[in-house]
Amino acid sequence: MSNLKPNILLIYTGGTIGMIKDAKTNSLHPFNFENLLEQLPELDLLDCRIETISFPIPIDSSAMTPKDWIAIAEIIETHYIHYDGFVVLHGSDTMSYTASGLSFMLENLEKPVILTGSQLPIGDLRTDAKENLITSIQIAALQKEGVAVVQEVCLYFEYKLYRGNRTTKVNAEHFKAFNTPNYPCLAESGVHLKLNSSFLLKPEVSGPFRVHKILDENIVLIKLYPGITETYMHAILEIPNLKAVVLETFGSGNCSTADWFLSLLKTLVARQIHVINVTQCIAGRVEMGQYETSMALEKVGVLSGKNITTEAALAKLMYLLGKSFSYKALKMNFEIPIRGEMN
C-alpha cells in the first residue's frame, strides 16, 4: 500500500460543461479546456493529483460517433498504468451511449472510469457542473488498501453514481438528467458519500487490461409504433451489409402479429441478421412468450434483450460484431451479461 495521493486523469471531450454562449447567435458552443479549469480553483483542494488531457477539438456529444469512443478508450489505454482513475467530461446528450460503448471496449478494467458533464455551463452562476465534476473526481480517487473501490465504467450526475451501461438520459431540462430504472444506483452523494458496495461490479479479471477497438456499425434501430408500414420495414431490409437490428417493441416485448411483419422478421433471421427485442418502456424487461404477440417473435428467432437499455444493446452489438463471431456464437454471447449490462 502506498501513501501517495491517487493520480487522476481528467479527459475533456466537450459538452455543455465547457461551453460558452456565442454573443451573436446566443447558442452554446464548446470552448477551450484551460478556460474550464480556470473556473474551478477548488480542484486544487482535492486530495489527489489531477492531470488533464483534451480532445484537440472539443465537441457537442450529439456529434459523437463510435470513432470518438475509440479515441477516449485510446487515451485511457495510453495512460492506464500511470493513473489510478479516469474522469471523462462529456456532453450529457449521448453520455449513456459512450458509457455503454466504453464498458464493452475496456476489458479487465480494474480502475474507475467516471463519465460526467452538466446541464449548465461551468461558468453559469447556477451551474450543476462543479458538484458533478468534484464528486466524480473524489469517486475516481477512492481506494481501499491501495485498490480502487470502483472498477467499472460509471456515470455520475446530480448526486448519483450509476453503472454507465444501465443509464438513459431521461430529462433534457432537470439537473437529474439520468436514470437507471433497472439497476440501483452505485453511490449517492449527500452530507456523506454513500456507496452501495454490493451493487458494484466485481470484475472477473482474466488477464491484462485490454482495449477492443473494432466496432461494427452495420446495425439499425427500429422503434415500433402503431401504423409502421411495410414499405418502411422493407427499405431497412435493403440496407447493404446489415448485420443486426435492435427492435424497440411495446411493453414486455410485444409487437404486431401481422403476417407481413412476421414474415419480414423471418426473412431477416433467415439471412442471419440478428434481431434483438428490447422494450421501449423506460423500466422493466422483455419476457418473450408472456403474451401471444411476443411468442411470435420468439418463434421466428428474435433474441430477447431482457432488461438491457437500447443504448447498451446498440453498443454491445457493435462490440460483438467487431469480434467476427459466427452467427451462433454472437447469439450466445449477446444473451450473457458481460459487463453487468443486464440480468
Q: Which residues are catalytic?
A: 16
Which has the closest alpha carbon to 77: 318, 206, 324, 69? 69
92 binds ligand ASP per the rule CB under 6 A: yes
15 binds ligand ASP per the rule CB under 6 A: yes
311 binds ligand ASP per the rule CB under 6 A: no
User: Where in 41-80 is the site for ligand ASP (CB under 6 A)?
Assistant: 60-62
Asked whether 118 and 128 are in contact (CB, 8 A), the reply is yes
Centre a 10 Å sphere on the Cβ of residue 277 and count the other Cβ atoms it contains: 27
93 binds ligand ASP per the rule CB under 6 A: yes
Give the DSSP H/E element, type plus range, for residue 261: helix 259-270
Instruction: Provide the CA 146 distance to its chain's centre, in angstroms.
Output: 27
Asked whether 152 and 115 are in contact (CB, 8 A), the reply is no
Span from 13-21, 298-306, 323-331, 333-341 in contact with ligand ASP (CB under 6 A): 13-21
Least gap, CB of 18 to ligand ASP (angstroms): 9
85 binds ligand ASP per the rule CB under 6 A: no
39 binds ligand ASP per the rule CB under 6 A: no
- How many chain residues touch ligand ASP (CB under 6 A)? 11
Output 159 or 325, the one with its CB closest to ligand ASP.
Answer: 159
Give the DSSP H/E element, type plus range, for residue 189: strand 187-189
Phi/psi at 209 (5° precision): -55, 135
Output 60 or 77, the one with its CB closest to ligand ASP.
Answer: 60
Span from 9-17, 134-142, 251-259, 324-332 in contact with ligand ASP (CB under 6 A): 9-17
Phi/psi at 106 (5° precision): -95, 105
Output 127 or 277, the one with its CB closest to ligand ASP.
Answer: 127
C-alpha 254/C-alpha 263 separation (Å) is 16
Residues lying near ligand ASP in the complex (CB under 6 A): 14-16, 60-62, 91-93, 117, 119
